[in-house]
């Protein structure tokens, strides 16, 4: 089984307006509420790829109710821990530029935390747990480490999509896959990456620190993959970007969903790119049809 963990899910409130006038009344032409949060987006793509999965995390209040109903309508199999406080709302403002306001998230009680940790009793050898996104404000990076220890103790594997020290701290526990984007990669080593050689040197460091497969996404510039002693590169497929929220989550889901089927990193990489770009080219998260349409465009180059 694949479990996705979204500790801090969100309603993504999408607002589109051709021009944003700060300090004035604006009347956006288009708004929409979407069930968001990184692990939830991963679950949506896994569903499209017909990979059985269960979404875990915390949901509460009227916003949590919206997410629960939406996920059930979208046939996402979930088992969230109920909390008293409201799940957050993240604002995604699409104007001349894209601005995201990701809220801190709710407080959870000690009892709710204990309930959540209990879910990990279900994890079995061979399962994969994908941890995605920010933690709740009251939690430290140790929270992910504690959960990872529960997974590893069961001889299951994990992947993690988070940033900064929270990500670095997990590497010696040997994640199956990590997927920083090129900006996050530079931030991890507090440096500026001037060219692809420097980018690959930093990606290699993440592998040396313990990550088995390192995916580096570069938005419209495509991606690199370091896996099983090889380095692969691909340009991103061509298309019109409609909404890039969830592109990274889709890429990770595509990669893991496929890799766990046949253990071929090159083919999984192809799916990762197709899923990421198909999501960037659509309003919400991509469908199987949209993903399949992009696959023939993707040419993987084995760099080393």
Ligand X SMILES: Nc1ncnc2c1ncn2[C@@H]1O[C@H](COP(=O)(O)OP(=O)(O)O)[C@@H](O)[C@H]1O
Q: Which residues bind ligand FBP (CB under 6 A)?
A: 8, 10, 12, 36-38, 41, 90, 102, 133-134, 245-249
**Alpha carbons 264 and 194: distance in angstroms, whole number:** 31
Query: Annotated catalytic residue: which of 50, 127, 249, 301?
Result: 249
Q: How far is the CB of 199 from ligand X (least distance, A)?
A: 12
**Alpha carbons 176 and 158: distance in angstroms, whole number:** 6
Q: Does 130 bind ligand X (CB under 6 A)?
A: no
Q: With contacts defined by CB under 6 A, how many residues of the chain interact with ligand X? A: 17
Residue 217 partner contact from ligand FBP, ligand X, none using kind-dependent CB cut-offs of 5 to 8 Å: ligand X
Q: Which is nearer to ligand X, 68 or 179 (CB)?
A: 179
Taking residue 237's Cβ as centre, other Cβ atoms within 10 Å add up to: 21
C-alpha atoms less than 13 angstroms from C-alpha of 165 in its C-beta half-sphere: 4
The strand pair at 223-227 and 213-217 is best described as antiparallel
Residue 90 partner contact from ligand X, ligand FBP, none using kind-dependent CB cut-offs of 5 to 8 Å: ligand FBP
> Which pair of structure tokens corresponds to residue 230?
């090889």
> Which pair of structure tokens corresponds to residue 286?
């991509």
Contact 225, 298 (CB under 8 A): no
Q: Which is nearer to ligand FBP, 93 or 231 (CB)?
A: 93
Q: How far is the CB of 61 from ligand X (least distance, A)?
A: 27
Interface residues for ligand X in 215-274 (CB under 6 A)?
Answer: 217-220, 222-223, 236, 241, 244, 247-248, 251, 273
Q: How far is the CB of 134 from ligand FBP (least distance, A)?
A: 4
> Which pair of structure tokens corresponds to residue 83?
């909390």
Q: Look at residue 207 and give its three-state secondary structure.
A: helix
**Alpha carbons 81 and 58: distance in angstroms, whole number:** 5
Determine the residue with CB nearest ligand X. Answer: 248
Interface residues for ligand X in 146-205 (CB under 6 A)?
Answer: 181
249 labelled catalytic: yes
- Sign of the dihedral through C-alpha 18, 19, 22, 27: negative
Q: How far is the CB of 64 from ligand X (least distance, A)?
A: 24
Give CA separation, 210 vs 4, 7, 173, 213, 256, in Å: 21, 24, 7, 9, 18
| DSSP character at residue 171 | G
- Span near ligand X by CB under 6 A; candidates 143-151, 168-176, 187-195, 211-219: 211-219
Q: Which is nearer to ligand FBP, 62 or 262 (CB)?
A: 62
Nearest to 106 by CA among 158, 176, 57: 57
- Positions that interact with ligand X (CB under 6 A): 181, 217-220, 222-223, 236, 241, 244, 247-248, 251, 273, 276-277, 280
Q: Which residues are catalytic?
A: 249
């Amino acid at each position: 089984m694949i479990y996705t963990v979204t500790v801090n899910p969100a309603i993504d409130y999408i607002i589109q307006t051709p021009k944003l006038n700060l300090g004035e009344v604006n009347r956006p032409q288009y708004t929409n509420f979407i069930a968001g949060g990184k692990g939830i987006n991963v679950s949506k793509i896994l569903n499209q790829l017909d990979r059985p999965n269960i979404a875990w995390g915390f949901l509460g209040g009227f916003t949590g109710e919206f997410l629960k109903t939406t996920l059930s309508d979208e046939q996402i199999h979930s088992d969230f821990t109920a909390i008293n406080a409201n799940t957050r709302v993240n604002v995604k403002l699409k104007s001349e530029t894209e601005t995201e306001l990701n809220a801190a998230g709710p407080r959870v009680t000690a009892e709710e935390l204990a309930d959540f940790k209990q879910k990990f009793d279900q994890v079995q050898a061979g399962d994969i747990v994908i941890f995605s996104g920010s933690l709740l404000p009251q939690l430290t990076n140790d929270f992910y480490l504690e959960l990872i220890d529960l997974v590893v103790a069961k001889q299951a594997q994990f992947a993690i999509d988070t940033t900064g020290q929270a990500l670095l701290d997990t590497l010696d526990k040997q994640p199956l896959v990590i997927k920083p984007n090129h900006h996050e990669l530079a931030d991890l080593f507090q440096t500026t990456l001037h060219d692809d050689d420097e980018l690959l040197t930093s990606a290699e460091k993440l592998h040396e620190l313990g990550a088995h497969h390192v995916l580096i996404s570069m938005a419209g510039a495509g991606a690199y993959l370091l896996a099983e002693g090889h380095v692969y590169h691909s340009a991103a497929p061509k298309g019109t970007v409609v909404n890039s929220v969830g592109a990274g989550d889709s890429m990770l889901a595509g990669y893991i969903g496929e890799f766990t089927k046949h253990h071929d990193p090159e083919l999984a990489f192809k799916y990762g790119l197709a899923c990421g770009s198909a999501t960037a080219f659509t309003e919400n998260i991509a469908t199987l049809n949209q993903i399949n349409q992009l696959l023939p465009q993707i040419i993987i180059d084995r760099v080393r």
